[in-house]
A and B are shown apart, each in its own frame.
Chain A
């Protein structure tokens, strides 16, 4: 099964062929974070920085201030995790053209355990001025995000997971707007990232048992947030925000003010990791452990109609 990092790797290599100004840095994880094909092809434009996430980011800023478009990669728990202050001061403050690739977001590979899992990255990055955040779910979205990333000339964060949400038939993603993954009329799920696969499964489980239907919406670009399409949510009875992230500081925290400010929007509830860490186990067990399995989402949908 290809990961989002595999898809990004293809796009980065393609972009590297078109744009000699792109350089890439990693912190001893280039193979598992999507940089290897670029590094193998453009050896003089790849800088292995060693296990030094903080310096990787400041060095990237220095390269960007000299006109390069710079890609950095690590596990999201380490960058932006460990390198947050460098991102704040040396990338965002000077609007350096640095693309921070946070790989293995959410449950990651499962067995690596809590230190390698990242349920806090949106919280860390979304508070930073000048930062754009991309959180794709499908393969096509990863490719669209990559293309925009290499051309936006802005500090950007791309969060990639080890799983890819299969695109529903006829799905036309727009990474700059609320995109409909599944039509429905009663309950709306808004999510981001590959967890949407579970939302789609849970929605079908729900519809098999109830006469109500569930729409599933996808948001890819989280910052800046485009809320112009949110008026379509007015006719739903409830909206559930779903994320593979801590409830505090994640997608739900970004959407809450929108719902609080518009009384015509329906009741808004949030589902995600609730003030806990992950653990070391197989991925499906881990989704159960953190309360984000298909069954958990299904039960939550049921609770919305009680």
Chain B
């Protein structure tokens, strides 16, 4: 495992980011590293979960909950002016709960009981008081729910963020829903498609190729953006360009399945395989080390001020 510190602020002759932006990037990277560690701990404790996509999407969840682009209120979870986050690929429940725990909606005890009696389910059940906007698990259906919510909120200026997966695009219903998104010009809808290239039975390429998702969404007349292995900061920066889009947006987010754990990366086995024994120790060790390094870097930048 090799994790290199990001010295770019000091090595570049012409910096892309201001110092404060570099520090914000480091803050979000540190949170994403913490989220990867936390979500892995949650799944290992439960001996249940879908690690590959959870690890791959920590940057996105960090961007949404800690990047200042999604309106929500911990003190008033049902605040009617909040933006909505619809998670359609419900198998990433461990990540949703971990993010909600870090944001303050759920407690550590909730995470301890993940997918067990009294705890949040293996696939989410709607509970607005705990920040869960929709029940999900049956792929494709959250896309329609997001369409309905976006229709209801169309005139309020509130956004509906939808997280879907590349495998999920195999469900016919999602394409029904995209037709409606365009017909009703749901410009308040922002879709993320997690293109991690794996699914339950193997690679997406083997099971049922997604084809060129960007072309497909362009053909539907979405506002299409592609991001590859984007950090949370870059996702936030992209979302800030979408403050007032004129049509529905989709961000095809190419992620690394199992990001941060060397033996898991891009290996379909870990779609729903939770590491045990020595592999468990190795996964936690790698994620701990990454968290240590992002923390060091953040502290360093903070002290530079």
Contact = CB atoms under 8 A, between A and B. Distances in A.
B45 interface: no
Interface in B177-206: 177, 179-180, 183-184
Interface in A138-167: none
B173 A54 contact: yes
Contact of B152 (A49, A50, A57, A63): A63
Interface string A52-73: 1011111111111111101000
Contacts of B126: 65, 93-94
Given A60-B148, A64-B148, A55 B138 contact: no
Contacts of B147: 55, 58-59, 62
A90 interface: yes
A63 B151 contact: yes
A63 B186 CA distance: 13
Interface in A33-83: 47, 49-50, 52, 54-68, 70
A49 B177 CA distance: 9
A52 B125 CA distance: 25
Contacts of B249: none
A235 interface: no
B98 to A, nearest CB: 23
Given A86-B141, A90-B141, A59 B177 contact: yes
A66 B142 CA distance: 14
A89 B137 contact: yes
B21 interface: no
A62 B144 contact: yes
Contacts of B135: 89-90, 93-94
A235 to B, nearest CB: 48
Interface in B136-162: 137-138, 140-153
Contacts of B179: 50, 52, 55
Contacts of A55: 143-144, 147, 173, 176-177, 179-180
Given A62-B151, A67-B152, A94-B126, A54 B138 contact: no
A58 B177 contact: yes
Nearest to A61: B145
B38 interface: no
A186 interface: no
Contacts of A57: 144
Contacts of A70: 148
Contacts of A61: 144-145, 148
A10 interface: no
Give the interface centre of B140, B146, B148, B183 by most chain A CB atoms within 10 Å: B148
A89 B144 contact: no
A50 to B, nearest CB: 6
A47 to B, nearest CB: 7
A21 to B, nearest CB: 10
B225 to A, nearest CB: 23
B131 to A, nearest CB: 14
A85 B135 CA distance: 13
B176 A62 contact: no
Nearest to B125: A93
A59 to B, nearest CB: 4
19 contacts: A47-B151, A54-B140, A54-B141, A54-B144, A55-B144, A55-B176, A57-B144, A58-B142, A61-B148, A62-B147, A62-B151, A63-B149, A66-B153, A67-B152, A85-B138, A86-B141, A89-B137, A89-B141, A90-B135
Interface of A: 47, 49-50, 52, 54-68, 70, 85-86, 89-90, 93-94
Closest 4 CB pairs of A and B: A62-B148, A58-B144, A66-B152, A55-B176
